[in-house]
Amino acid sequence: MALIGNIIWFVLGGLWLGLEWIVCGIVCLCTIIGIPYGVACFRIAGFAFFPFGRTVVASENAGVCTFALNVIWVVFAGIWLWLSAVIAGILCCCTIIGIPFGIGCFRIAKVSFAPLGKKVVPL
């Protein structure tokens, strides 16, 4: 069931959300300070492309400064990625068939505020 959900998700909207994360990752990799953000963006982009059957959890080896780095992330990029995922989620929830996809969008929106210190694991 997760395979079918991921295929439909990718075709109907996951491609765009994943591409947003990849573009953000490429922009972050342009500076040395942004490298951790870029790596996190690519990790979350894979989740944005295919979210069904996987989940995002907090990493055990996240450092103390992860919170401060995530605050900086929210100010510069997180709010925009969150906004696009929430808008996509609201649009998906307008139909009964789209509700699971809307929930997927909201899961991506949740991780948009704190991508550092997170990892994607299978369910």
User: pTM to 2 decimals?
Assistant: 0.88
Closest CA to 73 of 27, 107, 6, 106: 27
Cα separation, 2 vs 74, whole angstroms: 30
The one-letter amino acid at 80: W
Tokens of 29: 């990799």
pLDDT one-digit tens code per residue, 47-87: 999 988 899 998 877 777 888 888 899 998 899 999 999 99
- Does residue 42 surpass a pLDDT of 90? yes
Domain map of the chain by residue range? 2-122
Beta bridge pairs of residue 122: 54
Neighbour-count burial for 25-58, b at 16+ CB within 10 Å, e otherwise: beebeeeeebebbbebbbbbbebbbbbbeeebee
